Amino acid sequence: MSSPSKSINVAIVGGGFGGLALLIGLQKYPHINAQVYESSPKTSDLGAGAVLGPNSQRAMSLIDPRIFEGFQKRAAFAVDEPDENGLYPWITVVKGEEPNIGEQVMQFKHKVKGSTIHRAHFLDELAKLIEPGRISFDKHLVEIQENGEDKPVILSFKDGTTAKADVVIGADGIHSRIRKYVLGPNHPAAEATFTGAIIHRAVVPIQKAKDLLGEENVKQDFTIRNGKDGLVFAFPMANNTLYYLGVTTFRNEPVERDQWISSPNITILNEKFATYSDFVRKQVSLVPNDGSTLGWSIWEMPPPPTYVKGRVVIMGDAAHAATPFQGVGASQAIEDALVLEKLLGKYHDPTKKSIYRFSPVETTKLVLEVYDTVRRFRSLKIATKSSETGRILTGAEPGVSMNAADIRDQMKGRQDWVWDCDQEGQVKDAYLLFEERQFAAARNEISRNTGIQKAEKPPAAASPPVATETEKPPMGKPSTRDAMRYMLYSSKTKFRTMLKSH
């Protein structure tokens, strides 16, 4: 093991929410040189609305408070007053078709005021926070090469240019090339699969929506009207000046990967929603027939066994693309960025002394492995639950009818564990896991080099350290994190003794 170098080069492939948030977070570390490589010729103005829940808003603040400030500046917030418990409506589900047509199935609420944002507006705010020269546009990745641990990873682009990096982070979306590299091109989870859903996204002036639908009916942040043949998502955005519609239908025919965007057939849309409520049919009529609206096929990723290969890792949709049926996909890219930023920033800092002598490559690999462990289970569970939500809302989930009561029973609590995730705790867990694995690796090397027998568990100190009055924690049962911290403290104390004697 050797001492860490002065800095590391981080290449982020993809300039969406997650990639740009990660870049902003890494900018503050003088020992990290981060660069985004984006395939489009400029920061994209494509897309439409996005829901970034309380979990992602907290993650934004932890990466850089300015990200959340920019979000607040451009988001549309709920106009409803909180209920008697101080909770604001976030997502409302209403039956759009018989049985129980027009009945409110349920409403998800939270103490944080509901909000939505136009994708292009949020990207614009993120771009304002990025230092000049840190984004390279029109970079279509064609190949990744790792030529040994002592050499940088080589990225080759379609325009003939190359880039070198110590760490490569794939934030290149659902049709990710880096995912194929990480898993292998023939791995069953390397390619996205078509869900059968097509979402026709439309953005219209909010006054036009109010004139047709009634002002009271367009004030909700995120309303879903569901039925057997499709769903309509709707919410205001852009400081309540625009109205977003996501008219979703289903088809049995496959969609080719190079044809995943198409123009909607308005006649077919009207036929699909002919049995829905008058309100839904009015919503569908807002979809323009002038070619300005596109139909986007909805794809999802089979769960991969890992997010990492060597010094290459995937995040966001490249790792765990989720369907839009629960409004949770974009938030997971922000959570990914938070954990990666904190791990890379903390453990690659050469100014901070460590009792372990890990090389930069060893540190990088361990950082990415810990990120994979901390983030993969939660993000994949969220993606799985979102797909399940889509099936429940459209009567495709076995054993669940289209009756409002059945749907309500299945949907209870579906958002709480997503929104109320302890973001600070997620980072602390990553730190503890890194240090635990770092200790284990160092202990094993000492054992190999000195012949000391490997212990099954880190050795405990003879007696706990004595805390001063100001350091003593409040009385009560110690948390799991407290126990892990004490175990690591005890282990490091013994490890220092081992280092001095060998």
Share of the chain above pLDDT 70, in %: 84
In this prediction, residue 44 carries a pLDDT of 59
pLDDT digits (tens, 9 = 90+) for 137-184: 999 999 999 988 889 999 999 999 999 999 999 999 999 999 999 999
Share of the chain above pLDDT 90, in %: 64
The sign one gets for the Cα dihedral 59, 61, 66, 68 is positive
Looking at the predicted structure, is the pLDDT value of residue 226 above 60?
A: yes
The continuous run of DSSP H or E covering 104 comes out as strand 104-110
In this prediction, residue 171 carries a pLDDT of 98
Q: How distant, in Å, are the alpha carbons of 31, 42, 154, 206, 215 from that of 135?
A: 18, 9, 17, 34, 42
pLDDT digits (tens, 9 = 90+) for 469-494: 333 333 334 345 544 544 454 444 44
Q: Which residue has the tokens 């979000």?
A: 71
CB 119 within 8 A of CB 49: yes
CB 414 within 8 A of CB 389: yes
pLDDT digits (tens, 9 = 90+) for 338-389: 999 999 999 987 667 666 667 888 899 999 999 999 999 999 999 999 999 9
Identify the band that residue 499 occupies on the pLDDT scale cut at 50, 70 and 90.
Answer: very low
Q: How distant, in Å, are the alpha carbons of 238, 240, 256, 301, 483 from that of 174?
A: 26, 29, 14, 7, 39
* Residues linked to residue 269 through DSSP beta bridges, in sequence order: none
Residues whose CB falls within 8 Å of the CB of residue 96, separated by 6 or more in sequence, listed in order: 225, 226, 227, 231, 232, 273, 276, 277, 279, 280
Q: How distant, in Å, are the alpha carbons of 100, 118, 166, 187, 230 from that of 371?
A: 45, 29, 16, 22, 37
**Domain residues of the chain, as ranges?**
8-75+114-191+301-393, 430-501
pLDDT, average across residues 92-101? 95
pLDDT digits (tens, 9 = 90+) for 270-309: 899 999 999 999 999 999 887 777 788 898 889 999 999 9
pLDDT digits (tens, 9 = 90+) for 5-34: 568 999 999 999 999 999 999 999 999 999
| CATH code matching the domain that covers 8-75+114-191+301-393, chosen among 3.50.50.60, 2.60.40.2130, 3.30.930.10, 3.30.70.360 | 3.50.50.60
Residue 408 is among the residues annotated as catalytic for this protein: no
As given in the structure block, the two tokens for residue 158 are: 């379609």
Measuring CA to CA, which residue among 437, 319, 327 is closest to residue 377?
Answer: 319
In this prediction, residue 317 carries a pLDDT of 96
Least confident of 102-111, 145-154, 259-268, 392-401: 259-268
Distance CA(56)–CA(51), nearest Å, equals 10
CB-neighbour burial class of residue 124 (10 A; exposed 0-12, middle 13-18, buried 19+): middle
In this prediction, residue 304 carries a pLDDT of 97
CB 368 within 8 A of CB 437: no
Q: Which of 58, 177, 179, 201 is catalytic?
A: 201
